[in-house]
Structure 1
């Protein structure tokens, strides 16, 4: 069951009461033109066959350059306040990070739900092997994984969709303790697909304000990925109460073999960069698509995803905010 709390647009913080199960037909009323969908033709068998141990080891992250600054400010989206609780149930007040505030990309203990729901996302662009990060998020279908849009759609000159998409939750140096899950489809917003560009000089275009994507995963052994592993919560239009950022940085000085984290007791909106969230964090490419969790419980390993890692420079990391557009996309992915 998906538990969602909806509250007045003026309310801030994660709501504590008023949970209900949404009627997706009603929620989808009036939602048009958000979803740019790619149905993946690669079968589960072919994807698993493709990702040999050597290819997994050699996968490299896509570039995560610092923005060139031509698209500043926020998205000016309509206000929204929707919260979907993690599969472990609603979380209470903010729990402090047991390891303290960190900006150094320290190895994470992979406690509780975080070990089963956060992992590495493998894919190919133009026959080349790449890797990002991703997380299972709670949904009615039990099949939704969040990541960054640039991990599914190449914003370079060729402008192509990913292939051979494979998610490995709890990845341990290429080992898959919770299985290898393949994607049936990938979904990004029209704004990103049509308005996000990148080159060796950096990223440009207003589409980078919407660097959020969702995957619809195929079931395995008769179970959805959420039934098998659980799911993180997700919140749209909510002010974060502290942040725990998880991912698998792969570019030096990291090697992608460990889940790592940065954390902060507060978050700021970095208006100079796409109006996104920003925090001091030295995680490198490969962490792209990893969840930014608020109200994170370090014992349960659970929180609410409010963003995913998007762009950075090795000192600062920025994550696209999840607002009305991201919520509409999530609803459409969950419905299909």
Structure 2
């Protein structure tokens, strides 16, 4: 896997500036062999061991909770047993404010949103991610949070064995069985040829203000899944906007919280955009009870409920202890800088 700590490669792919050959410089000598190795790595037993890599800030001080310090280990309140704020009212397709409910309206978002599994520092983690549009013919782009691909403490470390499982809600594999985890999923798994993030996150030295506003990342993936095709060809993709939204703009956030109370469902929150006043309104705020595992799930600033399609404008990034809100970075001109 080629690991790149800047956004030029992905931005060029999104805009169609680079040729396919330039964009894919430096993949494994045998991409299919590496893909299969990662797919085989994720046995049901290893998947069961994966824990959320989420970040929870102290509500009073705004600092990362002590449990989350040191190698960016997951913060408090995000483990498998955390029931969070429960499932808020509303169901898929209801345009009223929703603080966390299963998305049961179907559509493209059900197929394009999935779970991410990866290894970092000898531990197994789970996040969420989604497929976004790109202009390259031979690769796809998967959007997630930067902390779901990179640990920026102690010199920095990229995630390994990074795999994307779209449409997870369709499958809900039986993790107690043996054999291949990916074979149990509806469409299979896709692995990353490159992981790309902003230097503002990579060089921040922890989950601080600089990291938070740059907590987005992209995985460049090739053909995979059970049909050996690009994920966007099999399942679709969403547009991505590099412009900020104004206060009270309707936002939809999606993800796969790991807590048992969410039943492994694709979960969503909906409401008007707010801002994190603690950070000088540098990030978005949305009323939301989703907990660990939802990190990296997409936010849509323009969303068609009937089609389940929208324009990506942020990702699930962090929460505050004791609060029922999710926060995400703004996609704007610096996202593509």
**Pairwise TM-score range, normalised by the shorter structure:** 0.7 to 0.9
Write the distance in 1 (CA, Å) between the matches of 2:324 and 2:27.
36
2:38/2:163 contact within 8 Å kept: yes
Distance change (3 Å), C-alpha of 1:103 and 1:120: same
TM-score (ref. length: structure 1): 0.72
Distance change (3 Å), C-alpha of 1:318 and 1:187: same
Write the distance in 1 (CA, Å) between the matches of 2:220 and 2:142.
7
1:112-151 equivalent positions in 2, closer than 5 A? 112-141=107-136, 142-151=139-148
SS in 2 for 1:236: coil
2:240/2:313 contact within 8 Å kept: yes
Distance change (3 Å), C-alpha of 1:50 and 1:63: same
Write the distance in 1 (CA, Å) between the matches of 2:189 and 2:18.
32
2:317/2:326 contact within 8 Å kept: yes
SS in 1 for 2:38: helix
1:61/1:251 contact within 8 Å kept: no
SS in 1 for 2:151: coil
Distance change (3 Å), C-alpha of 1:279 and 1:39: farther
Partner of residue 219 from structure 1, selected from 196, 217, 223? 223
Which residue is 1:327 aligned to? Answer: 336
Partner of residue 317 from structure 1, selected from 312, 326, 334? 326
1:196/1:205 contact within 8 Å kept: no
Partner of residue 296 from structure 1, selected from 287, 295, 303? 303
Give the helix-richer structure, 1 or 2: 2
Which residue is 1:262 aligned to? Answer: 269
Gaps of 5+ in 2: 1-13, 65-90, 174-183
Which residue is 1:173 aligned to? Answer: 172
Distance change (3 Å), C-alpha of 1:155 and 1:173: farther
Distance change (3 Å), C-alpha of 1:161 and 1:39: farther
Distance change (3 Å), C-alpha of 1:298 and 1:43: same
Deviations 1:278-311 (A, max 9, x none): 0111110110000001221112110000000100
Distance change (3 Å), C-alpha of 1:128 and 1:160: same
2:284/2:328 contact within 8 Å kept: yes
Which residue is 1:246 aligned to? Answer: 254
TM-score (ref. length: structure 2): 0.72
Write the distance in 1 (CA, Å) between the matches of 2:95 and 2:172.
25
1:196/1:208 contact within 8 Å kept: no
Partner of residue 101 from structure 1, selected from 82, 96, 100? 96
Write the distance in 2 (CA, Å) between the matches of 1:306 and 1:163.
26
Gaps of 5+ in 1: 1-20, 27-34, 72-95, 198-202, 329-336
Distance change (3 Å), C-alpha of 1:102 and 1:155: farther
Write the distance in 1 (CA, Å) between the matches of 2:151 and 2:98.
28
Which residue is 1:57 aligned to? Answer: 48
- 1:190 is displaced (CA, Å) by 0.7
Which residue is 1:6 aligned to? Answer: none
Aligned Cα RMSD in Å? 2.9
